[in-house]
Amino acid sequence: MRVAAIDIGTNSTRLLVAEVGPGGLRSIERHVIVTGLGQGVDATGRMNDEAIDRTVATLAGYAAAMERVGVERARAVATSASRDAENRSVFLKGAFEVLGFHPEVISGEEEAALSFRGATGGIATVAPRLVIDLGGGSTEFVFGTGAPSFLQSVDIGSVRLTERLLPDRPAEPVDVLVASATVESMFADVMLPGTPGTAIGVGGTYTSLAAIALDLPEYDRLTVHGSVLDVGRLGSLIGQLSPLTIEETAAIPSLDPARARVILAGAVIAEAALRHAGVTEIVVSESDILDGIALELAG
């Protein structure tokens, strides 16, 4: 069965077209475009018109791609920014007009469960597993063996933290310390039920940080998938990114320039998440909520 999964996030809008059979998923097309749908939502409670237009235009392109490859089933989910924006109906109307079906605004808990299914199905790891899904507007912690037994969503992500506490580049050391302490306090209520055998990191922040840590000449998802980041390396990346301007950050060869504004905040959250979970390293996975949606569509 040929299926399509769309993830409309706070920072990026992504598409996976895959064939699903007895052997699992076979990816046909993957696309990611940073559309910044959640830009300003944390401060104003509303999506701005330009962000809506960018995201709807991206979805129109995805709809054309799905028609071209003969998709049989499709599902689009919208996450943190769409949960929080009071004018989300404007965006959802535009999205429906170009897709021909309604995107679903899902809860943080459903987002977490879909991410867990996609991440754990795409990489060999030791159970129990902790999946940390670090997005633009929220961070999900999901713990379990074959299925999630614990999941919790925290309303902090790379876009939110950038807008709240790390808007300037270069970033002052004191601002980075304050941002880190703030994230740690927000994670304090996440009480994991046990010690994970493996922590798995999903989302554009973890994959981008892995590419930078590997010093890749360009982004390579096959190399990133299954790579490992430890707490010490994440701390080093924070130190590396903090003194850079946005232009200097955008010039990092393996980084999508559209992520330059938010990657420092993402690194702060990534490190804090590992420390809170009590693990020293995390396996980075390219399989995530998109793969979870695709597997669900196939039944």
**What mean pLDDT value characterizes the chain?**
96
Domain ranges of the chain: 2-108, 120-284
pLDDT in tens, 135-171: 999 999 999 998 899 999 999 999 999 999 999 999 9
pLDDT, residue 24, reads 81
Q: Report the topology of domain 2-108.
A: Nucleotidyltransferase; domain 5 (3.30.420)
pLDDT, residue 22, reads 80
DSSP assignment of the chain equals -EEEEEEE-SSEEEEEEEEEETTEEEEEEEEEEE--TTTTHHHHSS--HHHHHHHHHHHHHHHHHHHHHT-SEEEEEE-HHHHH-TTHHHHHHHHHHHHSSPPEE--HHHHHHHHHHHHHHSS--PSSEEEEEE-SS-EEEEEESSSEEEEEEES--HHHHHHHH--SSSPPHHHHHHHHHHHHHHHTT---SS--SEEEEESHHHHHHHHHHTT-SS--HHHHTT-EEEHHHHHHHHHHHTT--HHHHHTSTTS-GGGTTTHHHHHHHHHHHHHHHT-SEEEE-S--HHHHHHHHHT-
Q: Is the pLDDT of residue 23 over 80?
A: no
pLDDT in tens, 11-22: 999 999 999 888
At 125, the pLDDT band (50, 70, 90 cuts) reads confident
Q: Report the topology of domain 120-284.
A: Nucleotidyltransferase; domain 5 (3.30.420)
pLDDT, residue 299, reads 78
Mean pLDDT, rounded, for 85-114: 97
Mean pLDDT, rounded, for 194-218: 97
